Structure 1
Amino acid sequence: MKKLLYIDACVNRDISRTERLAQALLKEMNKNGEYEVETLCLEDEDLKLFTGKESAGREQLTRAGIYEGPMFDYAKQFASADRILVAAPYWDFTFPARMKCYLEQICVTGLTFTFSSKGIPGGLCHADSLHYVTTSGGSIGDLNLGYEYVEKLCKVYYGINKTVCYTAEGLDIEGNSVEEIMKAAEEEAIREYRKYA
């Protein structure tokens, strides 16, 4: 069975609108039961800032071709997924800090990407696509920097050439109906997913 990795970077999980939109999409993605869904909730993980000491230690291990131990678990999980769904609220133009910590953990030479003899990166990830869900109290416009960052990592490093972003915006603007915006966003996400699936 194929594996769908769901990366939940939502912070206010009980009331998260990003989580709600992602769950609607997740239901559509696996409506035929073709995926084993593996959920990684970043709030539950002991993600720490990557220090120089850890970076040097990881570099030493990867140069020796050693990929054992918990330091490499996230990268192995990400690299082996057949499809990936990310739920990350729109915070300060990007995403919550835990998402950045996670991305640093999965950028591992020899697991998620490699370099040619000329220094050109090449992807080692198995996923056919990554689907990114975000919601915002205001307007995102052309400042969707979190998605753009993940998109560039996917295409330049990971070898995941198909990325799609699904949004719900204006949720905290006075006079807007949150329920109407969310329902419309859920319907639009399902329509968009069916185009790319």
Structure 2
Amino acid sequence: MEKLLYVTANPKGLEKSKGLQIGEAFLEAFQKERPEVEIKKMDLFTLDFPQMDADLVSARGKLAGYGYTLDQLSDAEREKIIKMHALADEFISYDYYVFVSPVWNLSSPAVLKAFLDNLFIAGKTFAHTPDGPKGLLKNKKAVHIQTRGGQYTGTPLQEMESGDRYLKIALSFLGIKVMDTLIAEGFDLNPQKVPEIIAKAKDHARLAAKELAKGISIQV
């Protein structure tokens, strides 16, 4: 059975978050097309996962390049590296990924970057080769749904946005095929048009979900 992981990075909840409302429209359309696919929701603001602190950085380095075994790590290092691998293992078990996040100060909420840090494990999600690093998560697909208060597309802000850009780079590095991003923007600039923007974004999300379910490249 195929599985889809729905990862959200917005603390406001469904009633207040425009992105989560658009995301729900995506999920409903995907489920209609592929009811057999198992879906799990993962809220990064409530998820307990390791941060890249001194213990985790030390543990990863010791295991990767200094010949340490798991038993030779400190208790704190061992606990955190085990959690890191468990999260990565769970992530690997999915076939489809949907990320939903807003733009905060030109990028994504920090919790999304912290989550992605747990996925970069040499030998598990990517490999070092003579030709450079190679992603190991093949035959998997991801899509990003991003909301923006400002207008980025077609303006100088477009080159400053780094949240969607980094997410796509990170997932591609791991070998995942990343579909076109679904962007809803201009909410803060056009408060009176918010319902219209959301409605249009939901239409795009439903189309994208159908295309992802059928294995077609998303074009919106």
Answer yes or no: same fold by TM over 0.5.
Answer: yes
Q: Deviations over 1:139-176 (max 9, x none)?
A: 12224421111111122x21113332111111122453
In the TM superposition, structure 1's runs of 4+ consecutive aligned residues that sit over 4 Å from their partners are 62-68
1:136 corresponds to: 148
Alignment RMSD (CA, Å): 2.3
2:73 corresponds to: none
2:93 corresponds to: 80
Instruction: Please give the alpha-carbon distance, in whole angstroms, between the structure 2 residues aligned to 1:146 and 1:174.
Output: 22
**For the Cα contact (< 8 Å) 1:84–1:127, is it kept in 2?**
no
**For the Cα contact (< 8 Å) 1:76–1:112, is it kept in 2?**
no
Which of these residues, 164, 167, 170, is aligned with residue 153 of structure 1? 170
Letter in 2 for 1:28: A
What pairs up with 1:178-189 in 2 under 5 angstroms?
178-189=194-205
Larger Cα-atom Rg: 2
Q: Deviations over 1:32-90 (max 9, x none)?
A: 31211111111112345412331120232345686982221221122221000001111
1:3 corresponds to: 3
Q: Deviations over 1:95-120 (max 9, x none)?
A: 1011111011111112211111x261
Letter in 1 for 2:48: D
**For the Cα contact (< 8 Å) 1:62–1:110, is it kept in 2?**
no
2:42 corresponds to: 40
Instruction: Please give the alpha-carbon distance, in whole angstroms, between the structure 1 residues aligned to 2:83 and 2:99.
Output: 22
Instruction: Please give the alpha-carbon distance, in whole angstroms, between the structure 1 residues aligned to 2:126 and 2:180.
Output: 21
Identity %: 25
33 and 188 in structure 1: CA distance in 2 versus 1, 3 angstrom threshold: same
**For the Cα contact (< 8 Å) 1:167–1:185, is it kept in 2?**
yes
Secondary structure of residue in 1 paired with 2:192:
coil
What pairs up with 1:1-197 in 2 under 5 angstroms?
1-13=1-13, 14-31=15-32, 32-47=34-49, 49-62=51-64, 69-116=82-129, 118=130, 120-126=132-138, 128-141=140-153, 142=158, 143-155=160-172, 157-174=173-190, 176-196=192-212, 197=215
8 and 127 in structure 1: CA distance in 2 versus 1, 3 angstrom threshold: farther
Gaps of 5+ in 2: 71-77, 216-220
Instruction: Please give the alpha-carbon distance, in whole angstroms, between the structure 1 residues aligned to 2:208 and 2:35.
Output: 19
Gaps of 5+ in 1: none
178 and 10 in structure 1: CA distance in 2 versus 1, 3 angstrom threshold: same
Count of residue pairs the alignment pairs up: 195
